[in-house]
């Protein structure tokens, strides 16, 4: 018998977007809405806690920054694939979110005059990355979690693994989930839902993401009939620490760090003479891979990874200790290098997914009563390439928007009856077919094979042949009998959750590669060697991937252009 739990609003994910949505829904409903926050980790272990460098907002127009500048920088950074109405809403709302967090207690770093400090980030015309040393995600998460716990109508389901979205007649009804500490299976019903489960970064092994950052929420939406948008656009951050992939924040370059090849040359002068290391991330990552491919990189013999140097000596030891203390600690602990004394070995690393669950400007999906926010969603403000510090900002803005929209939606609505048999069907799939299933293929070997082919063929530079081979290989992996579980314990069965994650990874990877193969141009983070130019005539459009019987069915939708016509990008 499936246990049934009932709430007004079910939020899946406890990162910045999920927590901000919960707080706003509680506020708008004046504490009347019964809100569930369901997370597969402990709430404060959501990957948002790892964000380091900054949150973008226009705070000082009197000193030269402007809303219009933030809008243009974001659209330009997106390689003109962002929806400009969404970007305009975003940049207008962000200053209020910075001050709201301050009022809730976030200890922003300060300028000498006591006002909130900001630093340079790549692709910006003004230093608008608001920061708290290099621990922005931690402080934002702590502030939001502390605020959320003050609302008695917000209940946390910590370490519950969501397996499916329940939908009846095109309307959201709830989710199914496994309570990890008992293995019990339940349906958590709600009048409305918000998916805030983050991105798909663990499709790659060399990634800045936590190991828990698998595309469970994206896959659940995809299987429920909601399209995924622009999934071919994967961001590779220029500075992943070798060999772990741990993020070395863009703030390291914003504070004055420089990239050097093995000849000691500051090579970004050749690729982005105006912005240098602070060009947009896609530009810097391509420059780095070009340097490596042309033999001007280093080789880490232990991991086999090629890399370049990030030299922080221009920043100065005291500034590193005061503004980049976490980076210094990470470098010493994980590489044995004090960045105040020696350069860090770095290379491009999977860092963000510009695509996600297709939503409108309010974060609403095509399923009535279901919204998506944060990296899990594609509104789209990031288009083909996200600017640094816009991600935590997006989580705040659309956390607030979706929380408000959902709270208004549920007001006065009657709780729907449980959808007949849907939860039972999912329980049988999870437990009869997987938990008690048998198979000859090791699911962990499938995961490793997927990550290797993504790193090989769906990386910074791509080709049609490589993508075709990757798509064929992913479909071969999907056909293997890996959906089985060796561990038969119900208590904290991570073997079961791992297998469910691999299943989602394969579904979403297939969408990524199918969209990349179809898009015969280079735009933002999607760089095709066989189609090196941007093609606005044929490809100034969003990719929509619907789940079909034989894989993703691709469709397309128009980009919203309000102020800025596409132009060639120069940094």
What is the C-alpha to C-alpha distance for residues 9 and 25, in angstroms, rounded to an integer? 8
Q: Could you say which of 253, 328, 528, 534 is catalytic?
A: 253
Could you give the CA distance from residue 251 to residue 327 in angstroms, rounded to a whole number?
Answer: 10
Distance CA 447, CA 482 (A): 10
Could you give the residue ranges of the DSSP H alpha helices within 390-442?
390-410, 422-427
Query: Is 45 among the residues known to form the active site?
Result: no
**CATH code of the domain occupying 3-233+352-410:** 3.50.50.60
- Residues near 128 by Cβ (< 8 Å), separated by ≥ 6? 56, 57, 58, 59, 65, 70, 118, 121, 389
Lowest model confidence (mean pLDDT) among 84-98, 324-338, 551-565: 324-338
Task: Say whether pLDDT at 324 is over 90.
Answer: no
Instruction: Of 317, 314, 308, 313, give the one whose Cα is nearest residue 284.
Output: 308
Return the H-helix or E-strand segment holding 358.
strand 356-358
What gap in Å lies between CA 288 and CA 282, rounded to an integer?
10
pTM across the whole model: 0.95
At 51 the pLDDT is 87
- Reported as a single tens digit per residue, the pLDDT across 431-443 is 999 999 999 999 9
Residue 472: its pLDDT value, please? 98
- The pLDDT, as a whole number, for residue 415 is 85
pLDDT at 321: 87
Residue 468: what pLDDT? 98
pLDDT category of residue 251 using cuts at 50, 70 and 90: confident
Burial degree of 304 (CB within 10 A; 0-12, 13-18, 19+): exposed
pLDDT of residue 408: 97
Instruction: Give me the chain's average pLDDT, please.
Output: 95
The b-or-e profile of 507-521 (16+ CB within 10 A means b, else e) is bbbbbbbbbbbebeb
CATH code reported for the domain at 234-351 = 3.90.700.10
Boundaries of every domain in the chain? 3-233+352-410, 234-351
**What pLDDT does residue 9 have?**
98
Of the residues 89, 237, 351, 462, only one is catalytic, namely 237
Distance CA 249, CA 122 (A): 11
Q: How confident is the model at residue 325 (pLDDT cuts 50, 70, 90)?
A: confident
The confidence band for 139, taking pLDDT boundaries of 50, 70 and 90, is very high
How far is Cα 193 from Cα 190, in angstroms, rounded to an integer? 7
Q: Is the pLDDT of residue 420 over 80?
A: no
Output the pLDDT for position 326.
Answer: 86
Annotated active-site residue 237? The verdict is: yes
Tell me what pLDDT residue 417 has: 80
Cβ–Cβ < 8 Å for 483, 437: yes
Q: CA 567, CA 571: separation in Å to the nearest integer? A: 13
Least confident of 147-156, 350-359, 411-420: 411-420
Separation of alpha carbons 373 and 359, rounded Å: 9
CA distance 447 to 506: 8
**Using an 8 Å Cβ cutoff, are 511 and 478 in contact?**
no
Is a pLDDT exceeding 80 seen at residue 510? yes
Cis ω before 243 (30° cut-off from 0): yes
């Amino acid at each position: 018998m499936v246990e049934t739990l009932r709430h007004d609003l079910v939020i899946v994910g406890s990162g910045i977007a999920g927590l901000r949505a919960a707080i706003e829904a509680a506020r708008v409903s004046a504490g009347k809405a019964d809100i569930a926050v369901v997370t597969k980790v402990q709430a404060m272990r959501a990957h948002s806690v790892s964000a380091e460098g900054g949150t973008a907002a226009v705070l000082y127009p009197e000193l030269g920054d402007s809303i219009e500048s933030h809008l243009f920088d974001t659209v330009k950074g997106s390689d003109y694939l962002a929806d400009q109405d969404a970007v305009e809403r975003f940049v207008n709302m962000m200053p209020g979110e910075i001050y709201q967090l301050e009022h809730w207690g976030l200890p922003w770093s300060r300028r000498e005059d006591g006002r909130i400090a900001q630093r340079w980030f790549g692709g910006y015309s003004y230093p608008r990355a608001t920061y708290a040393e290099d621990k922005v995600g931690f402080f934002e998460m702590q502030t939001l979690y502390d605020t959320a716990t003050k609302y008695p109508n917000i209940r946390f389901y910590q370490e519950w693994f969501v397996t499916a979205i329940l939908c009846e007649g095109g309307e959201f009804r709830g989710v199914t989930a496994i309570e990890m500490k008992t293995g019990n299976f339940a349906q958590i019903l709600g009048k409305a839902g918000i998916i805030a489960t983050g991105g798909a970064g663990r499709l790659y092994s060399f990634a800045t993401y936590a190991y828990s950052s698998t595309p469970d929420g994206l896959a659940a939406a995809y299987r429920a009939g909601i399209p995924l948008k622009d999934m071919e656009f994967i961001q590779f951050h220029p500075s992943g620490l070798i060999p772990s992939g741990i993020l070395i924040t863009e703030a390291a370059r914003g504070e004055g760090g420089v990239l050097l090849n093995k000849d000691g040359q500051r090579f970004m002068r050749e690729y982005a003479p105006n912005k240098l290391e602070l060009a947009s991330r896609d530009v810097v990552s391509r420059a780095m891979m070009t340097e490596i491919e042309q033999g001007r990189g280093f080789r880490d013999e232990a991991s086999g990874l090629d890399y370049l140097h990030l030299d922080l000596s221009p920043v100065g030891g005291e500034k590193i200790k005061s503004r980049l203390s976490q980076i210094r600690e990470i470098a010493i602990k994980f590489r044995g290098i004090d960045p105040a004394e020696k350069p860090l070995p770095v290379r491009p690393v999977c860092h963000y997914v510009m695509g996600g669950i297709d939503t409108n400007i309010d974060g609403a999906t095509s399923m009535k009563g279901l919204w998506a926010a944060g990296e899990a969603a594609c509104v789209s403000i990031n288009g083909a390439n996200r600017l640094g510090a816009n991600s935590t900002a997006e989580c705040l803005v659309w956390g607030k928007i979706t929380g408000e929209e959902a709270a208004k939606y549920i007001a006065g609505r009657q709780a729907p009856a449980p959808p007949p048999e849907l939860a039972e069907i999912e329980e049988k799939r999870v437990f009869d077919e997987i938990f008690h299933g048998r198979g000859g293929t090791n699911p962990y070997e499938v995961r490793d094979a997927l990550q290797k082919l993504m790193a090989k063929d769906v990386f910074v530079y791509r080709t049609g042949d490589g993508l075709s081979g990757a798509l064929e290989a992913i479909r071969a992996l999907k056909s293997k009998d890996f959906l089985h579980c060796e561990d038969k314990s119900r208590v904290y069965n991570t073997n079961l959750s791992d297998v469910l994650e691999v299943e989602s990874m394969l579904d979403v990877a297939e969408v990524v590669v199918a969209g990349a193969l179809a898009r015969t141009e280079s735009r933002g983070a999607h760089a095709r060697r066989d189609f090196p130019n941007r093609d606005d005539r044929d490809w100034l459009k969003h990719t929509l991937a619907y789940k079909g019987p034989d894989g993703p069915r691709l469709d397309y939708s128009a980009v919203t252009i309000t102020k800025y016509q596409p132009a060639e990008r120069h940094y």
